[in-house]
Amino acid sequence: MTDRRPSSLSVVIPVYNGAATIGPLVDRLVDQFAESTEFEIVLVNDGSADDSAATCRQLVDRHPGLVKFLNLSRNFGEHQAILAGLNRTSGDVVAIMEDDFQSSPEEVASLVDTLISGDHDVVYGQFAVRQYSRSRKLGSWFNNRMANILLGKPHDLYLSSFKCLSRFLVNEVCRYQGPFPYVDGLILRVTRNIGVVACQHHPRRQGSSGYTLTKLVSLWLNMFTNFSILPLRLAVFAGFGFAAIGGLLSIAVIIEKLLIPETQVGWASTVIVIMIFAGLQLMVLGMIGEYLGRVFLSSNQTPQFAVREAHGFEASPPPSDAEDGAAER
C-alpha cells in the first residue's frame, strides 16, 4: 500500500493506570510521525490510581507542542475519556488507541493510509487473535452480538478500541452531549462507510484490563438503552405473547372443568403463573425505569466528564456542555 499521510494527525489515548507504559508508547509515536506530518497526541488521564498524571505532565514537557494532556477529576470511563480527547483534537484524521501496547504504534499508519486511500469515515483494527482474558472475550463477544441487533452493525465487523476517524466523523461524534456515551454506537449512528485493517493484538505489557464484569455490563446497558428502543418493543411483544398464553390457558382450564367437574385446580400452577407474570412485569418496569432514569440524568445536565487540568494546549476554549462545571487550570 502506498504510504500516504494526512495534512494533520491527532492520536487520542485514554490513560488508566498506565504510568509504566504511556511514556514508551508516546515516544514511539513521536518518533514515527513527528517529522512526517503535523502531529499531536492528546492524553486523557481517567482518574488513574498510579502516577499516570505526573507521567503525562512530564511527557508534555518532553515533547512540547506535540503532546497535550487532560486530567479528568475522577474515573468517568473509557468512552467519556475518549470524548474528552476528541473534543480537543485538531487533526484532519484522529486515531484512538489504548495505553497498554496491545496495539502497535507502528500500525497506526496502516489505519491512516486505509482511511485516506479508501475515503472511509472510520477504519477499525481487526485482530485475528485477541489477547484478552476469558471474561473479557466473553463480554466483548456479547457486546458485539448485541451491536449487530441493536445498532445494525455489520456482522463481520469487530468494534475494536483501535481505530481511526475522519474529521467529519469526529465532529459528528462530538455533537453528542448525553452523560452515557458509547463511541462505537455514535459512529454507527452516523456512518456505514467503514474500513478494516488486519492488525496484531499483543499481550498487555503490565497490569490487567480495567474492564471488570460490572463495567462490561454498564457498557452493554449504554448500548442497550441509549441507541435503540428495541428493548421497549420487545417488552410490548412479550406482554402480548404472555397475555395470549394466559388467555389460552384460561380457556383450557374452563373447558377441562366443564368436561371433568371433579378436576381439582392445584395451587402450584397458580403460584407458578403469578411468579412468571410478576417477574415479567418487574422486568418491563425495570427496563422503563432505566430509560426514564437516563432521561432524568440527561435533563439534569449530568456531565460526560470534568477536566481538572489541561496542559500543552495553546488556548483554553470555554468548556463545552459536556464539560459543564469542569474546572481547568
For residue 285, what is its C-alpha cell?
418496569
Contact 222, 115 (CB under 8 A): no
102, 235: one domain: no
Task: Please check whether residue 1 lies inside any domain of the structure.
Answer: no
Looking at the 3D structure of the chain, how many domains does it have?
A: 2
Position with higher pLDDT, 138 vs 288 = 288
Task: Please check whether residue 46 lies inside any domain of the structure.
Answer: yes
Dihedral, CA atoms, 70, 98, 59, 108, nearest 10 degrees?
-120
Task: Please check whether residue 218 lies inside any domain of the structure.
Answer: no
CA distance 10 to 87: 11
145, 76: one domain: yes
Residue of 213, 219, 151, 209 whose CA lies nearest to 181: 219
205, 238: one domain: no
156, 109: one domain: yes
Contact partners, residue 95, CB within 8 Å, separation at least 6? 9, 10, 11, 12, 108, 111, 112, 163, 164, 165
Contact 318, 173 (CB under 8 A): no
Task: Please check whether residue 221 lies inside any domain of the structure.
Answer: no
SS3 content of the chain, % helix, strand, coil (to 5): 50, 15, 40
Task: Please check whether residue 328 lies inside any domain of the structure.
Answer: no
Q: Model confidence over 201-241: pLDDT tens digits?
A: 777 666 555 555 566 666 666 666 676 666 776 777 777 77
CATH number of the domain that residue 41 is part of: 3.90.550.10
Which residues constitute the domain of residue 292?
230-299
pTM of the model: 0.75
Task: Please check whether residue 74 lies inside any domain of the structure.
Answer: yes
154, 262: one domain: no
Question: Between 213-226 and 267-299, two packed helices, what is the crossing angle to 10 degrees?
Answer: 80
Instruction: Work out the pLDDT band at 244, boundaries 50, 70, 90.
Output: confident
Q: Model confidence over 41-55: pLDDT tens digits?
A: 999 999 999 999 999
Residue of 265, 283, 285 whose CA lies nearest to 275: 283
28, 138: one domain: yes
148, 256: one domain: no
Instruction: Work out the pLDDT band at 1, boundaries 50, 70, 90.
Output: very low
Residue 217 is predicted with a pLDDT of 65
DSSP string, 18-61: -TTTHHHHHHHHHHHHTTTSEEEEEEEE-S-SSSHHHHHHHHHH
Task: Please check whether residue 278 lies inside any domain of the structure.
Answer: yes
Task: Please check whether residue 223 lies inside any domain of the structure.
Answer: no
Q: Model confidence over 265-318: pLDDT tens digits?
A: 665 567 667 777 777 777 777 777 777 777 776 777 778 899 999 999 976 444
23, 103: one domain: yes
Taking residue 209's Cβ as centre, other Cβ atoms within 10 Å add up to 17
109, 254: one domain: no
CA distance 101 to 165: 20
Helix-then-strand count for the chain, H and E: 10, 8
